[in-house]
Structure 1
Amino acid sequence: MLSVKGKFKQLRHFAGTAAAALALAACAGLPHGKAAAPASRQPLDRLTVVTPDAEHDVLAQLLAGEMALTRNDLKDASTRYDRAMAISDDPKVAQRAVELALAVHDEPAARRAIARWQALGAGTADLAQARAELALATGDTAGAREQLERLIGSGDPHAWRRFGRVLIGARDPAQAGQLLEALATPERLPAEPQAWLAMSELGDKLGRTRYAAMVAAAAVARFHDAETYAWAAQMKFKAGDRQGAAALLRQALARSPNDVRLRLSYASLLSQGGDYAAASRLLDKGPQSAETYALRAALAAQAHDRKAIAQLYAQLQRAPADVRESNAFLLGQLAEMQDRKDEALAWYDQVGDDDPHAFDADLRSAVILHAQGKVADAHALLEQLETAYLDQPEELRRAWQADAELYMREEHYLEAARAYDHALQVLPDDPGLLYGRGLAFAEAGKIDQAVADFRHLLKLRPNDVDASNALGYTLADAGRDLPEAKKLIEVARAAKPHDPAIADSWGWLQYRLGHLDEAARALRQAWNAAKDADVGVHLGEVLWKLGKRDDARHVFEQVRKLDPHNANLRETVQRLEP
């Protein structure tokens, strides 16, 4: 498309060539050798095309301003609209100039634009809003109050919405809060509950908690509708008054019993208080949504209520096709909870690519495939995810981490470490990934690399108890730097005195130090607290060294029942009983 300037050039060129062609045609029509008589001037001879320069061309300035906006260059856009406003009679151009000047905090330009907008017929409310914003931007509280008073009294049907917009955009929240409390009083607010709720919410955002709660309570007393009760309940909850919040939500539900949002809010409050049964009863009846189904499933899982899980699964299976389709991911989760792995895979396969749970559905599918022994299929699916989500770092990290964890389950520790490497390239210094790779290196016998990862993690998070324990255990297991290992594990024990994993580390350190009785006591404590296979292997070895071989064999047999393929058990028994 030709630019405006190009069009003007083309028109001038057309006028000149047309005049020349007419002159030649006139000469050609005369008898040879006779001078041409003066010809009357043709219309095109008299054509004058006005070609304003870019500085005085409204369209050119507006186009340049819009181009600046596409580049997010607000300063240049403001300059362009400032020029356009000065030579345009369109009040919308002046309005845009005001908005941009305020956005870039250009006080002189804003004043010019407001004056021009007024001259072009801007309304009282428009001018009052703009002048209030300018006054707030320049710290003129008195001026802002005067203009906000004018805005409120303008009769504009959206005056209070505009009022809120001015204050929420203020650079100084304290100044905005002061004006809010002074002007948006219950005596002045209109007879519309939405305005009261909006002012209360604005007060909450500006840190005026007491004002927000006061307006919310006054709205309840005046309007008695479900929405005001719900907002007042939210204020009570934020203030730590759970009982008050629950009472208000009950009143809200009494007025609007089928409101899904209210039922969800009340059920969430009940569940946070540990009353899962009451929360479930509340959600079981009445209209259902994706959110109610999801919360019902979460409540059943928290309560370990397999019957409720089965009932919800059956209910969703009987639901209309569109409901099943929109809840395919939840159906997959419910199937998994019931150990119906093939059904879970089928549901996850039905989750659409545009569904927000698409990634999680594929991730869960990979875990299920791996549990079913389809190891190659699981890793292949994760490879596809790693390719598909290259531009989404968080999902990419989770895919690599899942890949690594599956390799850890297979005892392919170097492959796990490589997967963690890939994830750490996406999110360097991620604590969870560093911890995972450290464990993988330790299991693979790459002690130097494991120690390096755990040390780096402790530099990033000096108070990380798990990292302290992991480094201490790794050093103790390798029989090196035992004094440092002791300090690290003591720190972990002080933070988590009843943690079985830390008790295992302490017991294994005592074994390395030759304190067999202390080792046996610590490891017995850890084994009794949690029947972990590796803890049992450690306890069995210490008992063996104490000469209690029957006791050791008994523990080894218990470990074998827990984990028949445990590599540590196999290696330890072969070493003790070659």
Structure 2
Amino acid sequence: MKIRSSRTLRTLCLAISLGTTACLAGAADKDVVGGPLPAQELTPRTIYQFLLAEIAGARGQISLSAQLYLDLARTTRDPRIARRATEVAMYSRNPQMAGEAAQLWSETAPDSEEARRVLAGVGGGARNLEQVQAQLARALAQSSARLGQNLLGLNRALAGIPDKDAVQRIVQRLTEPYLELPEAQVARAHAAMVAEEPMQALGAVDAALQLKPGWEAALQLKAQILQHTGASAEAARQLEAELERNPDSTTLRLTYARALVSAQRFEDARTQFKHLLAANPEDAELLYAVGLLSMQLNDSQTAEAHYLKALEVGYAQPDLIRLQLGQLAERRGEGTLARKWFSEVRDEQHQAEAMIRSAHSIAAEGRIDEARALLKAQDGNAALKQRYLMAEAQLLREADRSAEALAVLEQALRAAPDDSDLLYETAMLAERLNDLELMESRLRRVIELKPDHAHAYNALGYSLADRKLRLDEAETLVARALELSPDDPFILDSMGWVRFRRGDVPAALKYLERAYAIRADAEIAAHLGEVLWSVERREDANRLFDEALKAHPSSKVLADTVRRLRAE
């Protein structure tokens, strides 16, 4: 049976009942082929292979999906299937397969601008960059009405080139004739951002917004650039101003809500997500977002209600919600209900997490050995077994059985003496047991194996400073950790504590206040409160302690610090 033209693709989409990219494109996207669509025989084998490819993709087997699509494209020589094969191969990060699929697409759709553009970029790292640039320049020159869209696609076409500085130079040259178009400026901004040139990216996106004020795509990109540079508060401020000018824009409000999350303004973010939810009360993603933010704000009742509703309307990753619901039940002390939720997790990706949380729930009821037995009974590959072993050690550590925890990990370390994770964890246990020699030797071995392991430098530096030992060396170690991870709140906390130990209270407060602003952690609160107390800012310290104790009622470090200071 022969089915001609667009009817073939529509029938194929109906046959598999899946909303794939290829089906959604349909005959409306004529640039897939750039001309008349080919006749195509809709055989059972074609439908079967299409189904196999889609199912493989849905199960995360992206390389298999790409191979199946490429085989189907070779057999049918249909440019629509070749395009789909190209997309999936690019997503699977297989440049050889993507190059073959793109070549096939270009051959079967010789008049397609998009096919030529993608072919120019796919596998670009192995091609002559001048040829790539020339081919893309021709595609842009012939774009006519699609020029703006093709300018926006430049970075995607060049994604296969590993040298991002070279990509930026190519984009700069290709867009030179079109700088009066906002899409050219956005292309430059994207390339600059990927090349880690944020100021150039901001300049280009601002130029785009001058050419096209209020353009939501450019506003979103600007927010991403600002957040990438650590200016999340400024991104939120600018989006808020834009939203005031265009309060009905769902896209702007969603971007603003996400920027508020990045700025850690969780209550404000929840307000914006609730606003969006009011217009779309069964949107599973919005329901999940409100649930997560409510959980972050310790509003368990609201979190649970939104999680349950998200499950009801079919949230795409229900196991994530089951894990969260289990945690909420665990917080309330309802261990049986918590373990019920954890037991319903089915996805292999999350089953280990569910099992570990179940063990923690059992341990919280005082049944440590039963929790350990549960973890020991689990099977899996080497990485998974090590994860269960680490979880067992954590249970023992939390039960003040650090010596047993150390013995568990030491046994594993004998089989893998250069495992940096095991070395680090045993060092932390040795520190708890006040075995400073073992702690230091293990941390220095981690640094030797992984010179960029920020937390190894930090742990050693903090441990020395906390005991008022070798403070010059302690500061050097923590400073190195900060170089490697400048915005880590725990490393900032360590530097604040080092400066406090050295008598530099103004610097200590600067580091500790910044750390606490990033993460309101119980131990950071204990350090900040103690420094405030030391300079007679008792009211500020007590207010901080009350807030932190309410948020972290089970923190022994915080409780001990507050008790000691208030007893003075």
TM-score normalised according to structure 2 size: 0.52
* Aligned match of 1:458: 444
Identity of aligned residues (%): 17
> 1:169 pairs with 157, 160, 172, which one?
160
The separation in 1 between residues aligned to 2:124 and 2:189, in whole angstroms, is 23
Question: How do residues 87-486 of structure 1 correspond to structure 2 at under 5 angstroms?
Answer: 122-123=110-111, 125=113, 141=130, 144-155=132-143, 157=146, 159-160=150-151, 163-170=154-161, 172-185=163-176, 187=178, 197=186, 200-207=189-196, 209-221=198-210, 222=212, 224-239=214-229, 241-242=231-232, 244-250=234-240, 251-252=242-243, 254-257=247-250, 261-271=254-264, 275-287=265-277, 288-298=286-296, 300-301=297-298, 308-314=299-305, 316=307, 321-322=312-313, 327-337=321-331, 339-342=332-335, 345-346=338-339, 348-354=341-347, 356-384=349-377, 387-388=378-379, 390-391=380-381, 393=383, 395-410=384-399, 412=401, 415-421=404-410, 423-424=412-413, 428-430=417-419, 433-438=422-427, 451-452=437-438, 454-461=440-447, 464=457, 466-467=459-460
Shift of 1:220: 3.4
Structure 2 unpaired stretches of 5+: 1-62, 64-73, 278-285, 449-455, 479-493, 502-525, 532-555, 561-568
The separation in 2 between residues aligned to 1:268 and 1:248, in whole angstroms, is 15
SS at match of 2:409: helix
Shift of 1:177: 1.9
Q: Would the aligned equivalents of 2:402 and 2:432 in 1 still touch at CA under 8 Å?
A: yes
Structure 1 unpaired stretches of 5+: 1-71, 73-84, 105-109, 302-307, 474-484, 504-524, 531-558, 564-578
Shift of 1:297: 1.7
Q: Aligned pair in 2 of structure 1 residues 162, 310: CA closer, same or farther (>3 Å)? A: closer
1:182 partner letter: R
* TM-align CA RMSD: 5.6
The separation in 2 between residues aligned to 1:223 and 1:278, in whole angstroms, is 26
Deviation string 1:35-73 (CA, Å, 9 cap, x unpaired) is xxxxxxxxxxxxxxxxxxxxxxxxxxxxxxxxxxxxx9x
Q: Aligned pair in 2 of structure 1 residues 319, 347: CA closer, same or farther (>3 Å)? A: farther
Q: Would the aligned equivalents of 1:196 and 1:215 in 2 still touch at CA under 8 Å?
A: yes
Which structure has the bigger radius of gyration? 1
> How many pairs align?
385
Question: How do residues 530-545 of structure 1 correspond to structure 2 at under 5 angstroms?
Answer: none
Shift of 1:369: 0.9
Shift of 1:132: 8.2
1:365 partner letter: S
SS at match of 2:247: helix
The separation in 1 between residues aligned to 2:382 and 2:254, in whole angstroms, is 31
2:291 partner letter: Y
Q: Aligned pair in 2 of structure 1 residues 441, 276: CA closer, same or farther (>3 Å)? A: closer
Deviation string 1:514-573 (CA, Å, 9 cap, x unpaired) is xxxxxxxxxxx99x969xxxxxxxxxxxxxxxxxxxxxxxxxxxx9xx99xxxxxxxxxx
Q: Would the aligned equivalents of 2:152 and 2:186 in 1 still touch at CA under 8 Å?
A: no
1:456 partner letter: R
Q: Aligned pair in 2 of structure 1 residues 210, 152: CA closer, same or farther (>3 Å)? A: farther
Question: How do residues 34-113 of structure 1 correspond to structure 2 at under 5 angstroms?
Answer: none
The separation in 2 between residues aligned to 1:405 and 1:278, in whole angstroms, is 35
The separation in 2 between residues aligned to 1:328 and 1:441, in whole angstroms, is 36
The separation in 2 between residues aligned to 1:471 and 1:442, in whole angstroms, is 10
Q: Would the aligned equivalents of 1:370 and 1:378 in 2 still touch at CA under 8 Å?
A: yes
Shift of 1:354: 0.8
Q: Would the aligned equivalents of 1:403 and 1:416 in 2 still touch at CA under 8 Å?
A: yes
1:236 partner letter: L
Q: Would the aligned equivalents of 1:329 and 1:348 in 2 still touch at CA under 8 Å?
A: yes
Structure showing greater relative contact order (alpha-carbon pairs closer than 8 Å, 6 or more residues apart): 2
Deviation string 1:358-381 (CA, Å, 9 cap, x unpaired) is 332322221121121222321122
